[in-house]
Chain A
């Protein structure tokens, strides 16, 4: 795949760091999300990520643009799609800024917005061979309204 944000290949943090670094940027903050070996008390063997690719790409581009408008930063995001084993990186974010405060703030913003807005799903495969789709809101939310205040233009209420 040649898409800028989604990839079926193992993530390469070094290449993200290289993409955002520049001589006038004094620091790079990064976040790497890994496949955990347990969830809700069950042993997880692997995860299968899927996406609504055109929208996921577009939403990532919007989040990058937002971060680069709010802070004097350069942002790179890479999210893996497909089957991942425990310990593998599912998402990597690198944010370069003149100073560390902006880099950390923007990096936090990017991962939180990615989780909230980018249409990606994961199916967990358990040690006993069964599987289930992950709902970060938890099982109790199964019957709750799932619409959140994302809004048609990414705007927020209030």
Chain B
């Protein structure tokens, strides 16, 4: 066995306009650890050409709790990228 770079794999949830742009509502992404929401957005932009419409600092949530772009990601996290909220 060879030593591999440690990675963190998360499930990304996309909604509304973001889901439209990327063409799906869930994506699994593996990142070199340690990683933050900001790293995840950067990686999505690399993997999906359509993702270049995503803001570099979108609203986000980790496991259904509001997060920031600097929030750290853990293996198995469910990370939601939230378009501008429009409830009410």
Partners in one complex: yes
Residues of A within 8 A of B (CB): 33, 49-52, 54-56, 58-59, 79, 90-91, 111, 114-123, 133-137, 141, 143-148, 150-154
Q: Given A50-B16, A52-B61, A147-B59, A119 and B68 touching (CB < 8 A)?
A: no
* B15 interface neighbour in A52, A134, A135, Cβ under 8 Å: A52
> Are A118 and B87 interface neighbours, CB within 8 A?
yes
Could you tell me the distance in whole angstroms from the C-beta of B62 to the nearest C-beta in chain A?
A: 8
> Are A147 and B16 interface neighbours, CB within 8 A?
no
Closest residue of A by beta carbon distance from B83? A121
Closest residue of B by beta carbon distance from A152? B67
Supplied contacts A49-B87, A79-B88, 11 more A-B pairs, CB within 8 Å: A79-B87, A114-B87, A120-B87, A121-B87, A123-B16, A136-B84, A141-B84, A143-B55, A146-B58, A150-B66, A153-B66
> Are B16 and A118 interface neighbours, CB within 8 A?
no
Closest residue of A by beta carbon distance from B84? A135
19 A-B residue pairings within 8 Å (CB atoms): A50-B15, A52-B15, A52-B64, A55-B65, A56-B87, A58-B64, A91-B88, A114-B88, A115-B87, A118-B87, A119-B85, A119-B87, A121-B15, A145-B55, A146-B58, A146-B84, A147-B69, A151-B68, A152-B66
